[in-house]
Amino acid sequence: MTNRHSPCGFLSKTILERYKKRLLELGIGIRPNTVLGGDLTISDLFRDGYETVFIGTGTWRPKKLGLHGESLSNVHFGISFLANPSAYTLGRTVAIIGMGNVAMDVARTAFRNGAERVMLFARGKRIAASENEVAYTKLDGAEFIFGRSIQRITEDGPVFKVAKLDEDGQVTGYEEEEEQVHADTTIIAISQGPKNKLILTTAGLEGNDKGLLITDENCMTTREGVFAPETSSLAP
């Protein structure tokens, strides 16, 4: 969940503390820093008397480009950067691959962590992020650059091929010459997928070809007593 008043794009710690206090007042127990599928398993929960388990963990595995240069020290994944932005040394110029909501959060957070110029790149002309997120990101001063197909990443920044776009913004081809964009840091934010610890450690729990938990019309998974959202994912 995003919030334009938070320096990291997510809900501020003040708001989260209010939620935590209210949950505790309702009698809900909270056990922090516990990884299901690591420290504990779902079977452990059933053993200890829980009758129903609901999984709502989100997607925390960044999708890779699969291109040369992705492992360089000045190349990072957006979802990892947002988890602890102060740990990163960005430099003055940041190039972001992607234009979804995570990319918008990355851009705005980069400005708040020392970046002076932030550029977002997309292959076509489509912006996947919500209108509000785009508006806030533009207000912060980020540049939106379309028609760029990432080819590889160097220590100097990403290398693109310039796309030829028709009137509808569809890619019809590419220019022959490549374009080197100079950036101190390149951040990849092209979506996330689910991690698979729960499936690997829970007998009877199954996922689809995207790694998302399979649920029925009542949102119960393939393991009795375990529920998840209809468009759920595996735990991080």
Position 149 in a domain: yes
Instruction: State percent of the chain over pLDDT 70.
Output: 89
More confident residue, 8 or 205: 205
Take residue 86 and report the two structure tokens written for it. Answer: 């102060």
Asked whether residue 72 is domain-assigned, the answer is yes
Residue 131 placed within a domain: yes
DSSP notation for 79-134: HHHHHSGGG----SEEEEE--SHHHHHHHHHHHTTT-SEEEEE-SSS---S-HHHH
Beta strand 61-62 with 192-193 is antiparallel
Give all strands of the β-sheet with 93-97 in edge-to-edge order.
75-77, 185-188, 93-97, 117-121, 143-145
Output 226 or 198, whichever has higher pLDDT.
Answer: 226
91-95, 106-110, 142-146, 195-199: segment of lowest average pLDDT = 195-199
Number of domains in the chain: 1
Q: Is residue 84 situated within a structural domain?
A: yes
Across the chain, mean pLDDT equals: 86
Cβ atoms 98, 189 nearer than 8 A: yes
Residue 218 has pLDDT above 50, yes or no: yes
Mapping DSSP to helix (H, G, I), strand (E, B) and coil, where does residue 146 land? Answer: coil
Q: Is residue 132 part of a domain?
A: yes
User: Of residues 209 and 28, which shows the higher confidence score?
Assistant: 28
Half-sphere exposure (Cβ direction) of 16: Cα atoms closer than 13 Å: 9
Q: Give the span between the Cα atoms of 109 and 45, in whole angstroms.
A: 37
d(CA 88, CA 94): 12
Q: Which amino acid is at 5?
A: H
Per-residue pLDDT, 194: 67
The gap from C-alpha 112 to its chain's centroid, in whole angstroms, comes to: 18
Distances (CA, A) of 74 to 62, 65, 95, 187, 217: 16, 15, 11, 8, 45
Residue 181 sits in a domain of what CATH number? 3.50.50.60
Residue 15 belongs to a domain: no
Q: Could you tell me which residues come within 8 angstroms of residue 210 by beta carbon, excluding any fewer than 6 positions away?
A: 193, 194
Is 123 domain-assigned? yes
Of the candidates 100, 107, 97, 46, the one whose C-alpha atom is nearest the C-alpha of residue 69 is 97
Residue 177's domain comprises: 62-191
| Structural domain includes residue 205 | no
Sign of CA dihedral 214, 216, 222, 223: positive
pLDDT tens-digit profile of 165-208? 888 778 888 888 999 999 999 999 987 666 677 888 888 888 88
pLDDT digits (tens, 9 = 90+) for 133-167: 999 999 999 999 999 999 999 999 999 999 888 88
Confidence grade of residue 46 (pLDDT, cut at 50, 70, 90): very high
pTM: 0.70
**pLDDT interval class at 113 (50, 70, 90):** very high
